[in-house]
Amino acid sequence: MTHTADGVITLVGQGLYMALAAVIGLGIARVLKRDNTLGCLIAGVLAGVLLPVFNYDTGLRAGNLHQLVFFVILPILIFQSAWKIDPDFLLRWLGPILLFATLGAVICALITALLLYYGIHHPNGLPWIATLLTGAILVATDPVSVVERLRVHQGNEELLTLVEGESLFNDAAAIVLFSFVLGIASHSAMEGSAATGESIAGPSGFALYITVVFFGGLVVGSICGLLTAIVILFLRSAGAALMVLVLAAFGSFYFAEHVVGVSGILAVMLCAIVSRACLREQYETFLVHAEPTWEWLGLLFAALLFVIMGLVITSEMFSRHWLAMIIAIVAAIGARAFMVFLLSPVCRFIGPPVPKNWRMVLSWGGLRGVIAVALVLSLPTELPYWWTIQSMVFGVVLFSLLVQGTTSTRLIRKLEL
């Protein structure tokens, strides 16, 4: 019993240490007048430097991050992103959003993988499966900088919906692609993945897997969203409503992933969209505190992710993999731009047309952020190339924060958006 109590106290201390680093990171971002994610990344690096001084152990290990990311962090981040999108605007732009998040996601992942494979083509280069994993991770976009600047400058609400909606569905697609490729890559090291990887290999198996996982997640999420709305309407309490929504975020993921065996991320996303649509008349009553609650929860978990990134990033990544990082940056940006300009003209056949000046925002504003960091931190260390992939993704994320994020305001002004 004493041993268990000591373990709980240690766990609480470790959580408080990272939370304190996150708060300091928010302060750094305010002083530097930069994004919160960059401030938290700096705070994470500083927290890592101070660990030997304090002789302290955060308890973070490369092997235990997968469960933390998938079962704790991602459900909150996906639910929060889906909750803040207006259902009416989302319905109007659903065609282009789905086109970018399905066919566009596959195109992005494949082009990124091709450029990485042939760009790092030497005796110690990455195998195909490693470049596909990297491509799947870099599909996920996080346009928080662009969205914030559009809101500050009172940008077009429909452009905001397109940017946020496409990012949300892209994140879900990236996680599904990542899980599929990871199941094949780690079939010999992860329990249960061997059967998965072997059974879904091949075009027909892949199509069946995606269909079951995708539509199964949508169905489970829709049902969970309806049940969430019914329970909130029955309880008719502001405090109870917030409790039910948080429970729905974790519960829909767990039920879809572990009970039904479909995409938990898609279930969380649909649960948020459906429950918000059903409860739209309650925003001014017992859901009046829902938006600020999800805002601080999303901020907390995103901040913690970048603190963790700061803790695990090392100078050796840059000294050993600097060329791979540069190739990954070029591949990620190039693949994203090619996909946007290739598919944008098609959008007029399935929804509103995407104006030409919007395409630049979608291309350059497709920053890699919190979801990419979450996925790469969850890579199992049994993969021989996990550290190389992590280094490349970290390089792309840093470029997004330092270059794309800081130049987005100038782009928005130049395009008169």
- pLDDT band of 229, cuts 50, 70, 90: very high
More confident residue, 219 or 197: 219
- 50 and 129 both lie in a single domain: no
Question: Bigger pLDDT: 136 or 366?
Answer: 136
Q: pLDDT band for position 343 (50/70/90)? A: very high
Residue recorded with tokens 């098609």: 346
| pLDDT tens per residue across span 353-384 | 888 888 888 888 777 878 888 888 888 888 88
Q: Are residues 163 and 51 in the same domain?
A: no
Pick from 416, 405, 399, 380: nearest CA to 189: 380
Asked if the model's pLDDT at residue 234 lies above 90, the reply is: yes
Q: Is the pLDDT of residue 68 over 70?
A: yes
As a whole number of angstroms, the distance between CA 175 and CA 255 comes to 17
| Co-location of 257 and 391 in the same domain | yes
Give the model's pLDDT for residue 6: 58
Torsion of CA 22, 26, 29, 31, to 10 degrees: -120
Q: Which pLDDT value is given to residue 333? A: 93
The answer to whether residues 394 and 355 belong to one domain is: yes
The sign of the dihedral angle between the CA atoms of 217, 223, 224, 225 is positive
- Distance separating alpha carbons of residues 166 and 171, to the nearest angstrom: 8
What is the reported pLDDT for 89? 81
* Measured distance CA(179)–CA(184) in Å, rounded: 9
* Residues 6+ positions from 10 with CB-CB distance below 8 Å: 59
Judgement on whether residues 258 and 215 belong to the same structural domain of the protein: yes
The mean of the pLDDT values for the chain is: 82
Please state, in angstroms and rounded to a whole number, the distance separating the CA atoms of residues 360 and 341: 9
Query: Closest by alpha carbon to 102, among 373, 346, 354, 360?
Result: 346
Is the pLDDT reported for residue 402 higher than 80? yes
Residues 279, 173 within the same domain: yes
Average of per-residue pLDDT across 76-83: 88
d(C-alpha 100, C-alpha 98), whole Å: 5
Looking at residues 37-66, what average pLDDT do you find? 75
pLDDT of residue 282: 83
Q: If you average pLDDT over residues 204-232, what whole number do you get?
A: 84
The total domain count for the chain is 2
Give the global pTM: 0.84
Burial class of 55 by CB neighbour count within 10 A (0 to 12, 13 to 18, 19+): exposed
Higher pLDDT, 361 or 206: 361
Lowest mean pLDDT among 96-105, 137-146, 195-204: 195-204
Judge if 14 and 144 occupy the same domain: no
pLDDT at 202 over 70: no
Which range (136-145, 239-248, 326-335) has the least confidence? Answer: 136-145
CB atoms within 10 A of CB 376: 28
- Whether residues 116 and 135 fall in one domain: yes
According to DSSP H, which parts of 313-378 are helical?
315-343, 356-364, 370-377
Average pLDDT, stretch 25-42? 88
**Residue in 215, 221, 299, 298 with CA at minimum distance from that of residue 254:** 221
Q: What angle do CA 309, 402, 293 make, to 5 degrees?
A: 60
Return the closest-CA partner of residue 365 out of 33, 29, 35, 27: 35
pLDDT at 143 > cutoff 90: no
Whole-angstrom distance, CA of residue 335 vs CA of residue 349:
23
DSSP string, 397-412: HHHIIIIIHHHHHHHH
Whether residues 131 and 266 share a domain: the answer is: yes
Predicted pLDDT of residue 198: 43
Q: Report the percent of the chain where pLDDT is more than 70.
A: 84
Residue 215 CB coordination number (10 Å): 13
Q: Which of 362, 328, 329 is nearest to 343 (CA)?
A: 362
Question: Which of 59, 80, 98 delimits the end of a domain?
Answer: 59
Question: Which CATH number covers residue 356?
Answer: 1.20.1530.20
Instruction: Answer yes or no: do 160 and 261 share one domain.
Output: yes
**pLDDT at 205 (0 to 100):** 62
Looking at the fold, whether 187 and 41 belong to one and the same domain comes out as no
CB–CB of 406/34 below 8 Å?
A: yes
Q: Which domain holds residue 25?
A: 1-59
Radius of gyration of the chain measured on its C-alpha atoms: 21
Residue 189, pLDDT above cutoff 50:
no
What pLDDT, on the 0 to 100 scale, is given for residue 262? 85
Residue 119 shares a structural domain with residue 95 = yes
9 vs 247: which has the higher pLDDT:
247
pLDDT tens, residue by residue, 267-310:
999 999 999 989 888 877 888 888 888 888 888 888 888 888 88
Query: Average pLDDT, stretch 90-105?
Result: 89
Is the pLDDT at 85 greater than 90? The verdict is: no
| Residue 375 phi, psi (nearest 5) | -65, -45
C-alpha closest to that of 160 among 362, 297, 402, 367: 362
141 touches 170 (CB < 8 A): yes
